[in-house]
């Protein structure tokens, strides 16, 4: 009764609605194939990655492989076998840096024993012994820093002479880190005696 009749509606309203709605192209037109179901897509994704049939067996095999690799590297570190050393220790530059350090007595290798003695002295409740321990700390630190500068300068010079066309980046830092370990505990094991020229 109070509604408009369809005949009273303006004629151009229908045309506007049609003009505003863009024509929807066919959904398959751009790619030319239907969208796969989720289960199919997941199966395809899983199929691409290698998944062993027996996971427990594969994990056991991977563990045994890594164990043999670690054992081989450990033996190489103990014996100095160049072929099985880790990448950090491989090459003639690194070998020379090791030999350069191992042929010398360094102040840094005595840091650990001195640190134990100094700590024992500082624990005692004697002011003179505590003062001595503080003085020893200063002496050992100055000796390590000074000796490290001497080693770094000498090694850099030797590397420039012996390996002019090779990359020697990191060799000096590698050698200085080696000086901080006691000779007996160094890995790879020292291949030269003290005083022997590398």
Instruction: State the DSSP string of 77-144.
Output: HHHT-GGGS-GGG-SHHHHHHHHHHHTS--SGGGHHHHHHHHHHHHHSS-HHHHHHHHHHHHHHHHHH
CA-nearest of 89, 114, 111 to 175 is 89
Q: Region 11-39: what's the mean pLDDT?
A: 60
Locus of tokens 């321990």: 133
* Mean pLDDT of the residues in the chain: 82
CB atoms inside a 10 Å sphere around CB 96: 19
User: Does residue 100 or residue 55 have the better pLDDT?
Assistant: 100
| Residue 24 DSSP code | -
Q: Which residue has the higher pLDDT, 123 or 78?
A: 123
pLDDT tens digits, 162-193: 999 898 999 999 999 999 998 988 888 898 99
Question: How big, in percent rounded to 5, are the helix, strand and coil portions of the chain?
Answer: 65, 0, 35
- Taking only the tens place, the pLDDT of each residue in 119-138 is 888 888 888 888 888 898 99
Highest mean pLDDT among 28-32, 62-66, 80-84: 62-66
Least confident of 41-45, 105-109, 167-171: 41-45
Q: CA-to-CA distance for 83 and 95, rounded, in angstroms?
A: 12
3-state secondary structure of 49: coil
Given this model, what pLDDT does residue 30 score? 60
Cα separation, 171 vs 98, whole angstroms? 9
Q: Looking at residues 127-154, what average pLDDT do you find?
A: 92
Rounded to 10 degrees, the C-alpha dihedral 39/41/43/44 comes to 160
Residue 101 in 3-state DSSP?
A: helix
């Amino acid at each position: 009764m109070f509604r408009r009749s369809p005949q009273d509606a303006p004629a151009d309203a229908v045309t506007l609605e049609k003009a505003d709605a863009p024509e929807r192209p066919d959904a398959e037109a751009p790619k030319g194939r239907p969208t796969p179901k989720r289960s199919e897509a997941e199966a395809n994704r899983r199929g691409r990655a290698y998944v062993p049939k027996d996971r427990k067996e594969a994990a056991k095999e991977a563990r045994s492989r890594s164990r043999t690799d670690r054992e081989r590297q450990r033996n190489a570190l103990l014996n100095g076998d160049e072929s099985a050393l880790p990448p950090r220790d491989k090459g003639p530059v690194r070998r020379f840096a090791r030999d350069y350090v191992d042929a010398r007595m360094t102040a840094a290798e005595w840091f650990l024993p001195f640190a134990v003695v100094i700590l024992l002295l500082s624990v005692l409740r004697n002011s003179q012994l505590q003062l001595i321990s503080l003085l020893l700390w200063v002496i050992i630190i100055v000796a390590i820093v000074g000796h490290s500068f001497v080693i770094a300068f000498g090694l850099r010079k030797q590397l420039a002479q012996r390996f002019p066309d090779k990359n020697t980046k990191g060799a000096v830092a590698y050698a200085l880190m080696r000086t901080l370990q006691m000779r007996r505990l160094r890995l790879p094991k020292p291949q030269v005696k003290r005083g022997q020229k590398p």
